[in-house]
Amino acid sequence: MPVIYQPTGKAREYSPLACNLYMACSHKCRYCYAPHVLQRNADTYFRIPHPRKDVLKNIEAELKANVPTKQVMLSFIGDVYCETHDSNATTRAALELFLEYGAPVAVLTKGGERCLKDLDLFKRFGERIWVGATLTFMDEAKSRYHESGASLPQERLDVLAELKRNGVTTFASFEPMMEARESLAALQKTLEMDCVDSYKIGKTDNSQWLTEPVDWDAYLRECLALIRPTGKGLYVKHNLRAAASNVEVRDSEKDADAHGVQA
């Protein structure tokens, strides 16, 4: 299997292509799907990872053979800015390769300030990179409980603001949504800080992570009421559209590929 691959299922809504640099993660998110996908238990997945064997060599070989014109997401398995044995050096080296060959890239992270070590590279990409953060809670205690190894919510927001100040296109992923009040509070904060260019809104498909019952129609309506007047990008994921079927979603808000790096 190539290291730059076409994701399927729900992952495809985030990006037409992807590349996983580390096959474990130190963020310890309770809701993480990766251990199940990899058929591993928490002890073997939630750890400080080493980079995949020969991943940089394989990336360069694939780029030499065929430079992608569609967005490559870093990453769906592991966070490229979690705590790693190589201090994210593989992430930087991979970005340098994608930059050298002119491939468009998106980075989604809960690593907070760790990603700023590569701000110089992000700026050199220009319009060919988007950098985003997953936002779940504003309450620090809840974030620590569910995402004990990840950066705290305000740090993620501050990093998005710093990226945007430096001309980097930013996005935010609101999925999984485990508590409507928390997600909406985080969404409101991004608007107050004007730190996000484009939004991806979803839900949780596992009800065990919901802290209380959710009126999905009401939740989506409130998200739309907050985001639409700003003119910012918005993609509503299929799972939320299905759960909130009484809410009208515009065609432009259903086109996943319109809300990412454009070739």
Q: Is residue 55 part of a domain?
A: yes
Q: Structure pTM?
A: 0.95
Does residue 35 contact residue 42 with C-beta atoms inside 8 Å? yes
DSSP string, 75-90: -SSS-TTS--TTTTHH
Cα end-to-end distance, the chain, whole Å? 24
* Domain span at 167: 4-253
Give how far Cα 108 sits from Cα of 42, 66, 207, Å. Answer: 22, 24, 24
What are the helix (H) ranges across 72-215?
Answer: 89-101, 119-125, 140-146, 153-165, 180-193
Q: Is residue 102 part of a domain?
A: yes
Q: Is residue 190 part of a domain?
A: yes
pLDDT value of residue 37: 86
Q: Is residue 258 part of a domain?
A: no
pLDDT value of residue 204: 86
- CATH number of the domain at 171, please: 3.20.20.70
d(CA 140, CA 49): 25
Q: Nearest 5°: phi and psi at 256?
A: -60, -45
d(CA 75, CA 91): 10
Q: Is residue 259 part of a domain?
A: no
Q: Is residue 35 part of a domain?
A: yes
Structural domains counted in the chain: 1
d(CA 104, CA 222): 32
Q: Which two tokens stand for residue 225?
A: 């009421």
pLDDT value of residue 263: 64
Q: Is residue 230 part of a domain?
A: yes
Q: Is residue 91 part of a domain?
A: yes
Q: Which residue has the tokens 């979603």?
A: 249
Q: Which two tokens stand for residue 136?
A: 């779940």
Residue 134's beta-bridge partner residues? 173
pLDDT value of residue 188: 98
The tens place of each residue's pLDDT in the chain, 263 residues long, gives: 799 999 988 889 989 999 999 999 999 999 998 888 888 888 889 999 999 999 999 999 999 999 999 999 999 999 999 999 999 999 999 999 999 999 999 999 999 999 999 999 999 999 999 999 999 999 999 999 999 999 999 999 999 999 999 999 999 999 999 999 999 999 999 999 999 999 999 998 777 778 788 999 999 999 999 999 999 999 999 999 999 999 999 999 999 888 888 76
